Structure 1
Amino acid sequence: MFDLFYKLPALKQQGVQIHLHCFNKGDDEQDELNKYCASVNYYERKKGIKGFSFSLPFIVSSRINERLFQNLLQDDHPILMEGIHCSYLLNDIRFNNRKKMVRLHNVEYLYYRQLFKSATSLLHKLYYWRESSLLKKYEKNIATKADSFLTVTPADAEVYRIELNCKTINFLPVFIPADWQLKYLTGKGNYCLYQGDLSIDTNEKAVIWLLEKVFKKIKLPLVIAGKNPSKKLKRMTREELYTCLVANPNEKEMQDMIAKAHIQILPSFTITGIKIKLLNALFNGRYVIANTATVEGSGLENLCSIADDADSFAEKITALFSESFCPEIIEQRKNVLEKMFCNETNAKAMMKFIWEE
């Protein structure tokens, strides 16, 4: 939802009138959305067996909603679908003559395949494997049915163009918070930081890998911060003398930790899409050490130190922890980030995709 939320004020500033249709849990309406939208309509996502389909991915079938379709049929406005999740209407002949665009957050079938490989629970593995198989068929089927597909990385665009034979695919960078101005931090921070949603299997796997394979070798302070850490993760961090776990920090606390860190440590076990925590680290932090999976195809590879095994991570962390953060790196980031992630420029580009024939 990160890209969607910050897209709304950017489009409104360009004079776009937005009628937002979104799925929720039935009781979590967001008043903030009313600031940017002419109207906001909510629909409850189907749960459990009600959202199941033998032929469609669950993330799609659980969002098929006739009330939504009827509301969309009341006018002839262009339709922008956020994610593969909300794209079923591409298969509905009632919308054949409408202008339709899909904002892709990942190549979903590849993302779910990677979740399958990283999951430790057998039930999760079965779910991710099934979703990946169905998503591959589904994404290939719809790849010719929208007027435009917009990806968040150049690499995802290439997959759609080459593998799925999509002729209407384009890269459009994610929209970011308006207050994300490149921070001119200098000097040294106080610790290394890993931040992310710790309830996600792949993120927990990354933290455990760091604890067991990297920080066992180096005695440097590590802060791990994020949502809903497991009991296993809490136990592991308690046993480490130089490690601190911060569970469920608010946004202000997280940004403060990023600003005070010396090195952002960002290994990943998934490749598709763009990592918001990577952008956050580059805009608001000092050094960033990441693996190839974190940065590949993002266009941000040259802004990070790259390490792809435990020994390389340990060596780079040790070397950079003793170095002051230098202005040259800030200028290098400025040349890339301010050009690629300009909300005004990207909103104007999106408007061209929406209204140009």
Structure 2
Amino acid sequence: MNSPWRRPPRLLGVFAHPDDETICAGGTLAKYASSGAEVSVVALTRGGAGQIRDAGVATRATLRAVRERELDAAGKELGLTRTRCLDHPDGGLSEVDAKTLLEQVSELITEFDPDLVITFGPDGFSGHPDHVAVGAAVTAACYRLRSATSPRLFHCHLPRSGMLLRDRLAAWVVELTTRFKGTREFVRALSVFSRETAALGYAADFVSVEWYPAGSYLIEQGEEATVMHFLLSGSVEIRREGPDGRVRVVDRSGPGEFIGEEGIATGRPRNAHVVALDDVTSLTFLAAEPLSVDGHRDQALPLLTRTLPSGDRIDARVSTCIDVSDFVGHKIRATAAHRSQYPIDATMFPDSILREMFGVEYFIQVLPERELDTSLFDEDSAGWGE
């Protein structure tokens, strides 16, 4: 980084919960930290109302302390200078007096004296009320302090991706030279990873857990390939039906194996039946209905959008995209450090998928405000309309 400052530039991220910093801007924080910036993160709660996805890591009584330690561990993966958790109630930030929150956030910004602040926008990144409350307080504080400290302010933004994790996983499995069978850890990690990335909009899949009683079809030969299964429990038999109606068993599969990946990868109709031998539960991947920019279904896109090279549409207010492809590993390791929320191994998933999902982070610049133009034409057209 070619810094115009005599001291290292200071970046402050203010979020609601431990793990928000990694999910919203982990690659960006790591990138600037590696370039010499002093990068700090404050979470206004300790995340005590969060899920516990690994019972060996925390209990409800210990979760707040555990998540504070996880933030510190994630900060080390990202190269952060400082991390801090405040003690507001998780899930209750929207009920905290707005003036009180504004005063506290203003004091934080004054204390850390950042050159740049990152927080949530009005959409709360994911719509969480705590995120919305924090973003509003930080934005108001930066406007209040701009005459004194003039911090640059950016809101994190997550465009809805059209990428299908189903297709990427299918292509990966088909290209393997040996049959894939996931471990128990992989089964748990994929369940969390796939549903979280779909819910946040990093992928456009509809991911659900489905139950199939013994003797039922998961897939029928000849049908269009639209769904892929990852078996969580139970076993299935792959049966191929000939032109004469005779059926022969060609294979069996069990927990930790993908089913239907070949049809997804090739786009061809199913070449066999898949039948549950006993009761089966499956993590299913299906293309979801199109989403608008703000994440709602069955609504037209806002008029003001721009198209990304990927073909995805993005809110036209987005001002900045940061290439963090070299720091995706930092982001994933930091995510794994939040183990109570994300019990994953950073090496479990193909690097190509992770880079496509997380290789760019987007922001909307709020401060300094852009000055109004005084002409509809470029300078080359000076004189027109004068």
Which bin holds the TM-score, normalised by the shorter protein? 0.3 to 0.5
Higher-Rg structure is: 2
Structure showing the higher helix proportion among its residues: 1
Task: Tell me the TM-score normalized by structure 2.
Answer: 0.35
TM-score, normalized by length of structure 1?
0.37
Higher strand share: 2
Structure number with higher relative contact order (C-alpha < 8 Å, ≥ 6 residues apart): 2
